[in-house]
Chain A
């Protein structure tokens, strides 16, 4: 058996081990690769940066713990940016787990912004089932859609909600999404039907399905795609967090996968399997 034939039959546990080592080492020893900021991330940053003082913004947490490592850094970075600019932050969720994701994100920025006050600077409205229909209902009447917040306090007693009647009262919406219902629904209803600017962050695998909305009509103003999008945003606000740290590990994992693909293809051609298929 030739070297390449042996290589083609390599035990998959060796591949698993290489991936494990490739991911673990950069998490222990930072490699600090340089990051290039892409246009969709710059646009999200511009939207948050250029809003009026005291702007009201809606953050929708439409993801669960499985995609938390990828999306939570985006939410934290946007929250930091929003609180830095003294915006009023209203959080909601189209996914049941999104409520806790929101609480954890706010909890993690509270150390940096100890003066933010619940009900005055931010509120967690909680989860509402219904997806697209819920967003449409929010566009008509926020109080009917969310009569109470996540802790069952009546909306009428929460001062931040005094000026919010429907979606059009928000300066912009940022959706954090890992599936459906998520960012696509926010674009289709909040932007297309009510004209509210929508930006967002999603898992890397979702980016291809969302990219058509990044167009001249600005259906989606900007998009943070996967961990890289989050890392770019962290770099833009000069607050490196878990995304910047995780990018080295993700980059090495991708590089390893590319090396595996290359070796696999070299073996495929050298061992003559290419010809066998043709015959």
Chain B
């Protein structure tokens, strides 16, 4: 019963949503709308669940003194600090338990939550993302080789797109006369992206779409049951 009941619910709800796409009239349309509202509410709870899970996983790792356990302390402390100041003084225009925190706003220039978000979190996040440039440069030097025909084609098109997608491309080929604009690097990059890349991407998307339809049907019909947990 523990496994059968969720399967029945999944089948019923899945079929209802599919039918409502073809017959949007009552009662299917209304039921589908109600299910959407439920989904939005459940999504909100999923965020809370995710936060609790994050806290639990990190605390367990600290408790067991797993490898690099000190870093997990930073995560838990940051998590607790952000939640606490968010609850106490709110964010932006939203008041917290202690109101708008005018004294703190006059000191920091904005609410404590917003201050930490803007001056700590934003910069740390952007830094982490920016580090990719350094690793990409190193990897391109060591790994991007014309080993065979396929990798040579990839290499040439990558270089052309990279040049065309920056101002260097315009700078290098901007002098070419108007009647030969197809030789401009930005135009060549656009050609590669518009025709060669797009064709491959469409094929991938169609395959992925068919895969999603197949997986969804497997779940609705109860063939795929891994979402219920266990084997």
A260 to B170, CA, bound (A): 21
Question: Which residues of A sit under 8 angstroms from B108, Cβ to Cβ?
Answer: none
Tell me which residues from 204 to 259 in chain A have a Cβ below 8 Å from any Cβ of chain B.
204, 207-209, 211-212, 225-226, 228, 231, 247-248, 250-258
Whole-angstrom distance from the CB of A195 to the nearest CB of chain B? 15
Q: Are B198 and A65 in contact (CB under 8 A)?
A: no
Give A251's nearest chain B residue, CB to CB.
Answer: B166
For residue B81, CB closer than 8 A to chain A, the reply is no
Q: Are B165 and A265 in contact (CB under 8 A)?
A: no
Q: Are A260 and B141 in contact (CB under 8 A)?
A: yes
Q: Are B47 and A19 in contact (CB under 8 A)?
A: no
Q: Are B138 and A12 in contact (CB under 8 A)?
A: yes
Question: Which residues of A sit under 8 angstroms from B123, Cβ to Cβ?
Answer: 65
Q: Are B141 and A263 in contact (CB under 8 A)?
A: yes
Question: Which residues of A sit under 8 angstroms from B228, Cβ to Cβ?
Answer: none
Give A12's nearest chain B residue, CB to CB.
Answer: B138
Complex interface bits, B77-107 against A, C-beta within 8 A gives 1, otherwise 0: 0000000000000011110000000000000
Q: Are B184 and A140 in contact (CB under 8 A)?
A: no
Most chain B CB within a 10 A radius of its CB, from A23, A69, A130, A140: A130
A67 to B171, CA, bound (A): 27
Q: Are B140 and A150 in contact (CB under 8 A)?
A: no
Most chain B CB within a 10 A radius of its CB, from A69, A99, A251: A251
**Residue in B46, B92, B117, B144 whose beta carbon sits within 8 Å of that of A261 in the complex:** B144
Whole-angstrom distance from the CB of B195 to the nearest CB of chain A? 10
A93 to B65, CA, bound (A): 38
For residue B162, CB closer than 8 A to chain A, the reply is yes
Question: Which residues of A sit under 8 angstroms from B227, Cβ to Cβ?
Answer: none
Question: Which residues of B sit under 8 angstroms from A231, Cβ to Cβ?
Answer: 167
Q: Are A228 and B92 in contact (CB under 8 A)?
A: no
For residue B16, CB closer than 8 A to chain A, the reply is no
Q: Are B134 and A211 in contact (CB under 8 A)?
A: no
Q: Are A247 and B167 in contact (CB under 8 A)?
A: yes
Q: Is the interface of B mostly helix, strand, loop or mixed?
A: helix
Q: Are B137 and A34 in contact (CB under 8 A)?
A: no
Most chain A CB within a 10 A radius of its CB, from B93, B163, B170: B93
Q: Are A257 and B162 in contact (CB under 8 A)?
A: yes
Given A103-B92, A129-B44, A144-B37, the answer on whether A15 and B126 have CB atoms closer than 8 Å is: no
**Residue in B36, B125, B137, B146 whose beta carbon sits within 8 Å of that of A15 in the complex:** B137
Q: Are A151 and B190 in contact (CB under 8 A)?
A: no
Chain B, interface size category, equals 35 or more
In the complex, number of A-B residue pairs with CB atoms less than 8 Å apart? 164
A57 to B122, CA, bound (A): 27
For residue B218, CB closer than 8 A to chain A, the reply is no
Complex interface bits, B194-211 against A, C-beta within 8 A gives 1, otherwise 0: 100110011001000000
Question: Which residues of B sit under 8 angstroms from A226, Cβ to Cβ?
Answer: 165
A16 to B125, CA, bound (A): 19
Given A150-B92, A208-B193, the answer on whether A265 and B145 have CB atoms closer than 8 Å is: yes
Q: Are A39 and B190 in contact (CB under 8 A)?
A: yes
Question: Which residues of A sit under 8 angstroms from B159, Cβ to Cβ?
Answer: 258, 261
A242 to B46, CA, bound (A): 37
Give B148's nearest chain A residue, CB to CB.
Answer: A277
Q: Are A34 and B117 in contact (CB under 8 A)?
A: no
Complex interface bits, A126-161 against B, C-beta within 8 A gives 1, otherwise 0: 001110011011001000110000111000000000
Question: Which residues of A sit under 8 angstroms from B138, Cβ to Cβ?
Answer: 12, 15-16
Whole-angstrom distance from the CB of A41 to the nearest CB of chain B? 11
A1 to B28, CA, bound (A): 76
Whole-angstrom distance from the CB of B124 to the nearest CB of chain A? 8
Q: Are A133 and B36 in contact (CB under 8 A)?
A: yes
Tell me which residues from 140 to 195 in chain B have a Cβ below 8 Å from any Cβ of chain A.
140-142, 144-147, 155, 158-159, 162-163, 165-171, 174, 184, 186, 190, 193-194
For residue B39, CB closer than 8 A to chain A, the reply is yes
Question: Which residues of A sit under 8 angstroms from B194, Cβ to Cβ?
Answer: 211
Give B120's nearest chain A residue, CB to CB.
Answer: A65
Question: Which residues of B sit under 8 angstroms from A137, Cβ to Cβ?
Answer: 33, 36-37, 40
Q: Are A100 and B117 in contact (CB under 8 A)?
A: yes
Q: Are B163 and A257 in contact (CB under 8 A)?
A: no
Besides the known contacts A96-B47, A133-B40, A209-B201, 9 further A-B residue pairs in the complex with CB atoms under 8 A apart: A33-B170, A34-B171, A36-B169, A66-B128, A133-B39, A204-B165, A208-B197, A260-B141, A265-B155
30 pairs of residues in contact across A and B, judged by CB atoms under 8 Å? A12-B141, A15-B134, A19-B133, A33-B171, A34-B171, A35-B167, A65-B117, A65-B121, A69-B130, A100-B117, A129-B47, A130-B43, A207-B193, A208-B197, A211-B197, A228-B166, A251-B167, A251-B171, A253-B137, A254-B168, A255-B168, A257-B137, A257-B162, A261-B140, A261-B158, A261-B159, A265-B144, A265-B146, A268-B145, A277-B147
